[in-house]
Amino acid sequence: MKNSIISFATLRLIVTISFCLLSVSSCVKESVPIPQNWTDCGNGVFSVQDPETGVNIALITSGNQAALVDAGVDSASILQVKEYLKRTNLSLSQLFITQYHKNHTRNLSLVSEYPLETHTPFNMKHGATVKIGDKTVKIISSPRFTSDNNFSLLIDNQILVAGDLFINDRKMKTLFDMHLELIRQLQPIQLSSIIPGYGNVIQGKTQVEEYLKAVESQVKYRISTADNWVKINDDIFISTNPAEHDNNMIVVISGKEASVIDVGSGGGETNVKEGIYQKSGNQSQRVVEFIQQRNLVLKNIIITHYHSDHSENLHLFKPLAGNIFDYRNINNGQPVKMGDKNFRLFYSEGHTAPNEHISIEINDDIIVTGDVLCDFATPSLLIAGRKYLEPYISTLETIKKQNYALIIPGHGRPFFDNAKIDAYLEDLYAMRKKK
């Protein structure tokens, strides 16, 4: 009896050890390290980025099955995928080609040895689904980018492999004029990750939400540039002056009425092509001509602050203007209405003496900041003095909380998100610690 008990205990020990060994073996298989240029997006989905070009391909795994999304431009990325498949005993059985650009197809020959079921924009329709093990991939057709169609992949309603539907770059988040409706269909899904066609993966629901909002703004406000003009849409234009560090004058239109925010400075402009300084055709005169050529009535002039590059040419506009608003004659948060445009004028401190600088909100989703933000400068160059550090921080924190769709700084190109504000605040917080 004693011997049989010992035998039973021994047997239990052997079974337990065997189970642990099997578990460890399974864990080892699943924990095969990924290369440095890969991103684990969770749920068995990986992004593989070419370090030289930033182009992404993706690997979708489920059980012992795998699918490849695009073949990429860099052979090293495909060779990494093949090595990973070998080490993990995964069977590559499906290939998705999001579009027939060389950045997505150059290395197709390197996967020709696999018996692949291939899905392309020509044999897959919007809304079609494909199974990869226990994962469901839904096809989302994209608007035309070239003569070829495009699609993206939605994996288990959690991860979007976007192809060139999205790129993740500071200046441009989408490569083409995408339909707003398509973006708005993605927003309620609460994606955990987006793998863009180019650039770093966007991970985390909050980050994805902010990214989609920025893309929506970019599409909504289709920015185009020509001859030192930036067109936001049919109602908002920015005149820039290279001779004054690209300082901005903003023209806002409603029907046959216009408002001008800041009036620029006298002198001339740098002719970038010829490298000379021109005395004629200054920025402010261009804006006057813009208004007159369109037979617009200049209803309002709004001055953010009285530094010369924003206010010197007020004399050119006074004969045309109905109202002039500046820090001296507004109440904080004062509303100003012009047709379908609703302005809100409020004090924004840090760049000047207290209450001598204002920012302007337009229809709740656009802000003209004046010089509390600039595309080219750091806050240490803009702050009026160390004693204005806390008011400056408060100003930027207040602007950030509003999550504006479009931010027009005092100088330089507009922003679609709070990244510039975050960078400014980081610098200002560091200055605070040094006090």
| Mean per-residue pLDDT over the chain, rounded | 85
Q: What is the C-alpha separation between 47 and 107, in angstroms, rounded?
A: 16
Tens of pLDDT, residue by residue over 182-222, are 788 888 888 999 999 889 999 999 999 888 888 887 777 76
Q: How far is residue 298 from each of residues 3, 318, 319, measured CA to CA in Å?
A: 104, 10, 10
Q: What is the C-alpha separation between 51 and 57, in angstroms, rounded?
A: 12
Angle, helix 419-433 to helix 389-401, in steps of 10 degrees: 150
Pick the CATH number of 31-220 from 3.40.50.1980, 3.40.1360.10, 3.60.15.10, 3.30.460.80: 3.60.15.10
Nearest-CA neighbor of 222 among 417, 414, 420, 419? Answer: 414
Tens of pLDDT, residue by residue over 132-171, are 999 999 998 865 444 447 889 999 999 999 988 888 875 5
DSSP bridge pairs for 56? 49
Helix ranges, 146-247 (H): 180-186, 205-220
Residue identified by tokens 């959690």 is 158
Vertex 41 angle, CA 156 and 165, to 5°: 70
Return the domain boundaries, the chain: 31-220, 224-433
**Segment holding 112, helix H or strand E:** none
Q: What is the C-alpha separation between 122 and 101, in angstroms, rounded?
A: 14
Q: How far is residue 313 from each of residues 57, 240, 278, measured CA to CA in Å?
A: 53, 14, 17
Rounded to a whole number, what is the largest CA-CA distance in the chain?
A: 113
User: Which CATH superfamily hosts domain 224-433?
Assistant: Ribonuclease Z/Hydroxyacylglutathione hydrolase-like (3.60.15.10)
Look up the pTM and report it: 0.63
Quote the pLDDT of residue 278.
Answer: 40
Q: How many CA atoms lie within 13 A of 390 on its CB side?
A: 2
Quote the pLDDT of residue 11.
Answer: 54
Q: What is the C-alpha separation between 399 and 373, in angstroms, rounded?
A: 11
The answer to whether the beta carbons of residues 42 and 159 sit under 8 Å apart is yes
C-alpha gyration radius of the chain: 29
Consecutive 10-residue runs of the chain (435 residues): their mean pLDDT? 52 54 44 86 93 90 95 89 94 93 89 94 90 95 57 94 81 56 82 93 92 79 72 89 84 97 72 38 84 94 95 91 94 96 97 94 95 90 92 96 92 88 94 85
Look up residue 208 and give its amino acid. V
**Segment holding 9, helix H or strand E:** helix 2-30
Residue identified by tokens 């003095």 is 385
Fold agreement between 31-220 and 224-433: yes
- Two tokens at 375? 């595309």
The answer to whether the Cα torsion of 239, 241, 242, 245 is positive or negative is negative
Q: What is the C-alpha separation between 233 and 396, in angstroms, rounded?
A: 26
